[in-house]
């Protein structure tokens, strides 16, 4: 689904890249991350001033474009800057969306509750010639300003196509 990025998100990204050091994230390997909101075990809400100013506007935009109307809360919001070796640790059991903000990416999915079955997808060198069907995996291309969402019955992994690309990762909950 093509979505138009709100000015509040563009402002946040511009300020993050200019003034705020990214961190290493345990979900996105070999990438720089800005973990701005997380309510997994306790509520973490970053204190970066532009985030505090724009958070409500960004969350409204995310909810307006959500594929999960039954999930009223955002559990996690991250912005990831990709390197040539970036990949997302396989996830399952969460309602999640990837929003490509800059560059292009790939999402490998499989309808299974066993997320570890996707671990080898992170090591695929040539995404265009790999036989995805042989492992019952599906490769979805994520173009600029596109969003892909997956319910909790799908395992998924993100692999960037562009060095320096940006992707927003959102998890939804009840």
Tokens of 116: 């570890």
pLDDT in tens, 8-23: 999 999 999 999 999 9
Decide: pTM greater than 0.85: yes
Angle formed at CA 159 by CA 104 and CA 64, multiple of 5 degrees? 60
In this predicted structure, the answer to whether residue 6 has a pLDDT above a threshold of 70 is: yes
pLDDT in tens, 113-163: 777 778 788 888 888 888 888 888 999 999 999 999 988 888 888 989 878
CA distance 10 to 124: 32
Average pLDDT over residues 29-39: 94
Confidence of residue 48 (pLDDT cuts 50, 70, 90): very high
pLDDT in tens, 55-76: 999 999 999 998 898 888 999 9
């Amino acid at each position: 689904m093509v979505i138009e990025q709100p000015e509040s998100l563009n402002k946040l990204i511009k300020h993050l890249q200019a003034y705020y050091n990214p961190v290493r994230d345990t979900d996105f390997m070999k990438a720089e991350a800005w973990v701005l909101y997380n309510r997994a075990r306790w509520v973490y809400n970053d204190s970066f001033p532009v985030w505090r100013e724009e958070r409500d506007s960004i969350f409204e935009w995310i909810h307006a474009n959500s594929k999960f109307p039954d999930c009223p809360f955002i559990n996690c919001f991250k912005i990831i800057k990709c390197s040539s070796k970036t990949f997302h640790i396989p996830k399952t059991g969460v309602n999640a969306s990837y929003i490509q903000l800059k560059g292009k990416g790939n999402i490998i999915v499989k309808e299974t509750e066993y997320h570890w079955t996707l671990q080898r997808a992170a090591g695929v060198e040539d995404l265009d010639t790999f036989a995805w069907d042989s492992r019952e995996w599906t490769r979805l291309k994520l173009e600029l300003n596109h969003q892909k969402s997956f319910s909790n019955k799908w395992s998924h992994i993100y692999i960037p196509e562009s060095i320096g690309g940006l992707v927003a990762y959102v998890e939804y909950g009840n």
